[in-house]
Amino acid sequence: MTHLKSLAAPKHYPTTRTVFTTAPRPGPHPKNWSIPLIIIIRDFLNYAEDAATARKIIKMRKVTVDGRVVTDHKFPVGLMDVISLPEAGEHYRILPEPRKGLKPFKIQDEEAGFKIGQVRNKMHVRGGDLQLTLHDGRNIRFKNVDEQVRGYMTGDSLKISLPDQQIQAHIPLKEEVYVLITKGSKMGLHGRVTAIKKDVTYPDKPKVVVEVSGKGNITTLLTYVMPVGDSEPWIALP
């Protein structure tokens, strides 16, 4: 698909008066939870007045995603991705904005050197290696599985260096850690986990209580939260 009707576009797309907007290519993030790079450059960051100029900027290798140059203007940029414009000295991280959806937020230089990825799947693959699949589609394989690696569980988060993708730290999904709510009606809110509890009616859908500054304790599904720090967040949050 080369185009997407504006009326059918995800709500985090900028408002447009045109009938069609750019559809993201298949990639590391799902279509309804990503933004094409051209829209980031043109509509969110205002580096171009039109699509042709935005495509030119991208083709000239002036934009990186997670530390690697991307020249495809339809590349799907998603949650936690780091967009950098080296010549401008600016960096942005894709985060959920409450009640609106995904949006790039400006970050400092030191933050552009890492991202946080949530473990979505953990399995053994051919050869006996252990493989972790993160929320952004990347796979990390371990030939030597020690106690630390065994401790990486589904729902946990990993701090990964960019662009070499080395694991720098591990954040387990448990009480007292700092989490970001990435889905649902409370998307974009963040705070410290005060309790994790099973729902009697839906035992397969555990819930988590998050203490959000200025809003008190709120409850959401455990699968809706992503650990982003220990007692405090490791990244700048809106």
> How many domains are there within the chain?
3
238 falls within a domain: no
Q: What percent of the chain has pLDDT over 70?
A: 92
Q: Which amino acid, one-letter code, is at 68? A: R
CATH number where 163 lies? 2.40.50.740
CA distance 92 to 112: 8
- What are the structure tokens assigned to 93, written together? 């991280």
**Boundary of a domain, candidates 53, 76, 107:** 107
Contacts of 87 (CB under 8 A, 6+ apart): 62
What would the pLDDT profile of 40-69 be if each residue is shown by its tens digit?
999 899 999 999 999 999 999 999 999 999
User: Measuring CA to CA, which residue among 174, 181, 139 is closest to residue 160?
Assistant: 139
CA quadruple 221, 238, 13, 117: dihedral, nearest 10: -60
Q: Is the pLDDT of residue 198 over 90?
A: no
| Domain's final residue, options 149, 170, 191 | 170
Q: What pLDDT shows up at residue 6?
A: 61
Q: Let me know whether 49 and 102 are in one domain.
A: yes
Selected residue with higher pLDDT from 10 and 76 = 76
More confident residue, 17 or 96: 96
Model pLDDT for residues 221-237, shown as the tens digit of each residue = 999 999 999 989 999 99
Q: Quote the domain boundaries for residue 213.
A: 178-229
> Is 30 a member of any domain?
yes
Dihedral pair phi/psi, residue 72, rounded to 5° = -90, 115
* pLDDT tens digits for range 74-96: 999 999 999 999 999 999 999 99
Q: What are phi and psi of 234, to 5 degrees?
A: -90, -5
The answer to whether residues 125 and 198 belong to one domain is no
36-38-42-47 Cα dihedral, nearest 10 degrees = 120
144 and 213 co-located in one domain? no
For position 23, what pLDDT does the model report?
82
- 80 and 11 within one domain: yes
Q: Residues 117, 163: one domain? A: yes
User: What contacts 203, CB < 8 A, 6 or more positions away?
Assistant: none
Please provide the size of the chain in residues. 238
pLDDT at 48: 93
Q: Residue 90 maps to which CATH number?
A: 3.10.290.10
DSSP 233: B
pTM beyond 0.85: yes
According to DSSP, the residues that pair with 22 across neighbouring strands are: 3
